[in-house]
């Protein structure tokens, strides 16, 4: 149902509040650049520090601004199953096309708990749902066997795999037998991920280089690996720069440098150091893609 590059959107803030004007402009920029979908209220969108009301409002703004031109996949995950159900139902009511749900964090559930969590949300809300496995943040791994069990739930339609573990991806693909679409959650490995059969990427770097990431995914979808490598190499330094500190710290700084929004974040996230900012600026100035440039204005 969903494919190509889907941008894991930042949430702009100004004076402690969601900056609706900047967010709408960012959404419009993404649509015009040709991305295949947008993902508000995920990790990159600082969902962990949004109030429930803000979470729902950000989804609403995304649905309104996109206006059906591309899919909106709302982040609705939580370590609290009841809250996940509430947010997923809200996403459906607000008109989102699907939901992305992070595996429960902090609680450290067993695989059976992970399975029952996702199954409960899927049964409670009839909306297409994508599992999200990011062990570096959740302190748990959704095993290929658990993914395979969940692949039989009718409205669980995909997996965002942010492990960068291509061997695990291979095992998951083998067990799921094409029942789920697989999306990379790691910008650095989109090319090999799609070569193995992935449908695309839920991307951080496409916040600032959407045309290039979209072109990479389109080339891989057509089987043009040589062209895809051109874009992959063009993105490499920028991708590395986006993860010198916890996401979304660097990408927020990059958006600020481009004068698209303030670099404001919510605690406990804090800004890059002056040295890191200078290094990021240099990477952005040197970014060399045939499709787009990054015009720094600060």
Q: What pTM value is reported for the model?
A: 0.95
Asked if residue 137 belongs to a domain, the reply is: yes
Asked if residue 259 belongs to a domain, the reply is: no
Per-residue model confidence as pLDDT tens digits over 93-126: 999 999 999 999 999 999 999 999 999 999 999 9
Asked if residue 267 belongs to a domain, the reply is: no
**Rounded to 5°, angle at Cα 226 from 223 and 231:** 100
Catalytic residues: 132, 160
Asked if residue 292 belongs to a domain, the reply is: no
Asked if residue 295 belongs to a domain, the reply is: no
Asked if residue 231 belongs to a domain, the reply is: no
Asked if residue 240 belongs to a domain, the reply is: no
CATH number reported for the structural domain that contains residue 126 in this entry: 3.20.20.70
Asked if residue 237 belongs to a domain, the reply is: no
Q: What pLDDT score was predicted for residue 298?
A: 61
Domain count, the chain: 1
Q: What pLDDT score was predicted for residue 81?
A: 97
Residue 36 has pLDDT above 70, yes or no: yes
């Amino acid at each position: 149902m969903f494919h190509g590059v889907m941008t894991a959107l930042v949430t702009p803030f100004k004076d402690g509040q969601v900056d609706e004007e900047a967010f709408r402009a960012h959404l419009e920029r993404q649509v015009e650049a040709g991305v295949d979908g947008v993902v508000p209220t995920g990790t990159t969108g600082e969902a962990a520090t949004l109030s429930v009301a803000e979470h729902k409002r950000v989804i609403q703004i995304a649905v309104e601004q996109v206006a059906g031109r591309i899919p909106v996949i709302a982040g609705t995950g939580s370590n609290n199953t009841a809250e996940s159900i509430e947010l997923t139902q809200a996403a459906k009511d607000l008109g989102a096309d699907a939901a992305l749900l992070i595996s429960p964090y902090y609680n450290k559930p067993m695989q059976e708990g992970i399975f029952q969590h996702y199954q409960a949300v899927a049964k409670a809300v009839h909306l297409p749902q994508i599992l999200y496995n990011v062990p570096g943040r959740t302190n748990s791994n959704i095993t290929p066997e658990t993914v395979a069990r969940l692949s039989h739930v009718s409205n669980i339609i995909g997996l965002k795999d942010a492990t960068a573990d291509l061997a695990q991806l291979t095992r998951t693909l083998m067990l799921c037998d094409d029942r789920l679409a697989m999306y990379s959650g790691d910008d650095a490995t989109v090319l090999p991920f799609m070569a193995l059969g992935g449908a695309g990427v839920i991307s951080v770097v496409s916040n600032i280089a959407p045309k290039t990431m979209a072109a990479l995914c389109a080339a891989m979808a057509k089987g043009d690996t040589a062209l895809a490598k051109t874009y992959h190499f063009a993105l490499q330094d920028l991708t590395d720069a986006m993860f010198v500190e916890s996401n979304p710290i660097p990408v927020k700084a990059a958006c600020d440098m481009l004068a698209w929004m303030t670099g404001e974040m919510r605690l406990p996230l804090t800004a890059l150091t002056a040295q890191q900012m200078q290094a990021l600026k240099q990477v952005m100035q040197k970014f060399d893609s045939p499709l787009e440039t990054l015009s720094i204005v600060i």
